[in-house]
Amino acid sequence: MSGKGIAGQAVRRRAAVAVEEALQSRAPISDLLETARGGLAPRDRGLLDELVLGTLRWLRRLDGVLESAAGRPLAEIDVELHGPLRVATHQLLFLDRVPPYAAVDAAVEEIKRRSHKGAAGFANAILRKIAAKANLASWPVPTEDPVEAIAIETSYPTFLVRRWVHRFGEGRARAALEAGNRRPAFQLLCFGDREALAAGLRDESVETELAPLATQGLAVLSGDPRETAAFRSGKLYIQDQASQAAALVPPPAPGDCVLDVAAAPGGKSFSLLAAEPGLRLTAADASLSRLLRLRANQNRLATGFGLAVARAETPPFRAGFDRVIVDLPCSGTGTFARHPELKWRLSESELARLSSQAFEILLAAAELVAPDGRLCAVTCSVESEDNESVVERLLERRTDFRPERLVLPTQLSPFVEGPGRWRVLPADDRDGFTVHVLRRR
């Protein structure tokens, strides 16, 4: 086998392991990928990311194709075969730069290493059948339930698709589901004039366009902004435009005293400061390691504000903040494009657990808001359990808070859903976020 072939085999092996770990653990996919990339060349790291993230995005659809080709449920196929089979099926159906024989051979070799000769022969037969019909249209969806059909076609849990169709209508739900399967491009938060920064990036072969949702945002069309002078000098921070916008609902005022709860790695704080440098800001997080990451970002961006190690449930601060912004624990259903593993960790019971945890954090944060100050609850989720349910519980407990009527800039106002609530669904150019703004009497 050539050196290139050996490297490709190693990438596919690592991809299979990373997919398996993502489905068996609660570790963020970014951490698993960072471990799996170790020692790989840049091109191989790119292939690894595509194999892992693509397999997780399309997992349910891939499993359906595998079951059809095998003529049996996946549960009846030895579990040690699942990872290599899934990765290979993704290659065969979604990647045209990988020769089909390479995908099949790599999976068979890995299964030989993991199992026995009979398992390798079985895998070889399945994958060659898929390679012969390497087009999703050749593998029909086996259901007469229209909602389940959408769930299989877009590769999501049926219960989630049913919820979204009921809440948002089929058209908006399908658009959000499809957006969650996109490969997200870089989006940038700019410190300074974004049009001038865009011109400088263009001189270094990075093409961008203005992000429509975020006044300090740029969307990257081509090139790597991390290799530019603007990035090295602290003028740019990588952040989705919906995340930038959510931190600014409503826009901050000069001189506001702001506490960012559960702040690391710093996106909300940086968005606030990029929009209004005159804030008096403190960022807190319970994790020292995450806070050190925030400090590293702070140093690169040359932004000075206070940091504190503090648990969100028991914050060691006195009341008196004009604005307390809280990144609540949530299901992350607005960020499937970046975190496809979250699809397969979601359940009704998990939503209930996260909702209970979020309420305790929001209740503690409410104590820190000054009279006439704002409590801003932010999630990267569009689920009611993560958002409306938590806020309604707080309003029942704390009658000194009320939803604030939101008066927002033109690009944000279409997403106001009612008093105190702002929400964007996932779309082709952004993640999904929800914000609730409560004013203390």
Is residue 30's pLDDT more than 70?
yes
> Going from the N-terminus, what domains does the chain have, and what CATH number goes with each?
3-138 (1.10.940.10), 146-179 (no CATH), 187-238 (3.30.70.1170), 242-440 (3.40.50.150)
For residue 7, pLDDT beyond 70: no
Cα radius of gyration (the chain): 23
CB 251 within 8 A of CB 265: no
Share of the chain above pLDDT 70, in %: 98
The pLDDT tens digits of the residues spanning 150-208 come to 999 999 999 999 999 999 999 999 999 999 999 999 999 999 999 999 999 999 999 99
- Cα–Cα distances in angstroms (integers) from residue 210 to residues 59, 196, 197, 422, 426, in the given order: 33, 11, 11, 22, 18
Q: How far is residue 104 CA from its own chain's centroid?
A: 30
19, 87 in Cβ contact below 8 A?
A: yes
Confidence label for 4 from pLDDT (cuts 50, 70 and 90)? low
Contact 87, 62 (CB under 8 A): no
Give the predicted TM-score (pTM) of the model: 0.93
Q: Which single residue is written with the structure tokens 């979250």?
A: 342
pLDDT confidence bin for 6, thresholds 50/70/90? low
Give Dmax (Cα) for the chain: 72
Per-residue confidence (pLDDT) for residue 2, from 0 to 100: 45
For 9-13, 63-67, 68-72, 326-330, which range has the lowest pLDDT when averaged over its residues? 9-13
The DSSP H or E segment spanning 306 is: strand 306-309
d(CA 296, CA 255): 25
Is a pLDDT exceeding 70 seen at residue 5? no
Query: Is 94 in a helix, a strand, or coil?
Result: helix
Share of residues in the chain with pLDDT > 90 (%) = 94
Please provide residue 264's backbone torsions phi and psi, each rounded to the nearest 5 degrees: -65, 145
Query: Does residue 402 carry a pLDDT above 70?
Result: yes
Amino acid letter for position 330? C
Q: Indicate if the pLDDT at residue 8 is higher than 80.
A: no
Per-residue model confidence as pLDDT tens digits over 82-119: 999 999 999 999 998 778 988 999 999 999 999 988 99
Question: Alpha carbon of 19 to those of 99, 334, 344: distances in Å?
Answer: 21, 21, 11
Mean pLDDT, residues 39-53 taken together: 94
Residue-wise pLDDT for 213-252, tens only, equals 999 999 999 999 999 999 999 999 999 999 999 999 999 9
Model pLDDT, residue 368: 98
Cα separation, 333 vs 261, whole angstroms? 21
Question: What distance in Å separates the CA atoms of residue 230 and residue 241, rounded to the nearest whole number?
Answer: 18
